[in-house]
Structure 1
Amino acid sequence: MESLTLSKRENKTSHAAKKMRRNGLVPGVLYGKSVGNYMFEVGELELSREINEVGEHGILDLNLEGNRVKALIKEVQRDAVNHEIIHVDLQEVKKNSIIQADVPIIFHNEKLVSKNGGILQKEKNSIKVQCNAEELPKNIHIDLKGLKVGNVVRMGDVEMAKEISMIEDPDTVIVSVTYAKNEGTYMDEEEIDEQDEKKE
């Protein structure tokens, strides 16, 4: 991961922020004991590249006026229409510091549930965890293979690395299967793949 260079933002008006965005820059704020509330601007392309690599709640390496700083992405605001980044909030983190962050969930094998008539109800799209800043995962993966109508996945069902603590109620539902159009016609993954190949 490359170091992302931040430039101090002198003009803090909303008009100036709009002008920045037109010029391919994103306004943001970096919070931290050593930096205070540091208002900055950063290239949208460079920021997007780093977010794609570490995730929207990951850790960034920053170049802050020649100093190397690590920061946790706290919030990424996007335009409702084109989804371009319009503002970003960062929080400074020290080496080996313990942090809390919301880690996005990636669901696998959703098509197996829908092919068997089940309808997924996703209650959560992230999980709050606590860990060393260096150990923060980009995503948490949940495999939905084998889920049938009436099944649920709760926080307590998710396996975590021993270095990571989940800060959630274990009974909180993440996803459930609530309805089946074709009960009694359960197919496994190979059968579904064969069916898809025939359609093609």
Structure 2
Amino acid sequence: MNNRVLKVFPREEGKSAKQLRRQGFIPAIYYGGNQMPQQLVASKKELNSLIRQLGESALFEIAMEEDVKTVILKEVQRDPVTREVIHIDLQDLPSNEKVNMSIPIRFMGAEELESKGRVLQRQAEIINVEGYAHLLPSHIDVYVGDMAPGEVIKVCDLKVDGDVEIVDPLDKIVAVVLMPE
């Protein structure tokens, strides 16, 4: 998990969010357990890299002074015009409690399917799972390259580690392969 660590720092009082963003930082709030929310800042460059690498629903670690905690991006606020991240909310994920999370589904082999003249109709982009935070995957891969027209992928067809439980109904349709007329 070492490539999933974001360094954060306590936010100095008196600095506006706009001023912080101009200096290359993104304001953040950390919600953890029974303690009061903490105002933090994170490097804009590191945060954007982390979001590109893991997505907005992945879990990762934050390094806060000497302390390292597992968190999830609870909310990402973006500028409505530029779409740049302007603020984040971080939620602590205790390692001794099971958590519910939405995990993105990656469809592998879609190009191969399309080269055969078939179309993948995606019905779901995320799947809801439950498990201990450190055991949850950052995504679920589904290979679709050799599927035939009319074939359906349901939640029950998805492969997850034995320590992770899928919360969504098992008969929920994830994707269907179509043959355009």
TM-score range, shorter chain: 0.7 to 0.9
Where does residue 4 of structure 1 map in the other structure?
Answer: 7
CA distance in 1, matches of 2:17, 2:144: 43
Q: Is the 8 A contact 1:58 1:136 kept in 2?
A: no
CA positional deviation for 1:132: 0.9
Q: Which moved more, 1:31-40 or 1:155-164?
A: 31-40
Q: 1:179 to 1:80 in 2, by over 3 A?
A: farther
Divergent runs of 4+, >6 A: none
TM-score (normalised: structure 2): 0.83
Q: State the AA in 2 paired with 1:167.
A: V
Native 8 Å contact 1:149 1:180 kept in 2: no
Unmatched tracts of structure 2, length 5 or more:
none
1:151 and 1:77 mapped to 2: Cα distance?
38
Q: CA deviation at 1:99?
A: 1.3
- Structure 1: gaps spanning 5 or more residues: 182-200
SS of residue matched to 1:36: coil
Pairing 1:58–2:58 present: yes
Q: CA RMSD in A?
A: 2.4
- Secondary structure (helix, strand or coil) at the match of 1:180 reads coil
TM-score (norm 1): 0.76
Once residues 14 and 129 of structure 2 are traced to their aligned partners in structure 1, the CA distance between those partners, rounded to angstroms, is: 36
1:134 alignment counterpart: 134
Deviations, residues 136-186 of structure 1 (Å, cap 9, x unaligned)? 1111000002222222211111111101100101111111123325xxxxx
Taking a change above 3 Å as real, the CA distance of residues 110 and 45 of structure 1, as seen in their structure-2 partners, is: same
Q: Which has the larger radius of gyration?
A: 1
User: Equivalent residue for 1:117?
Assistant: 117
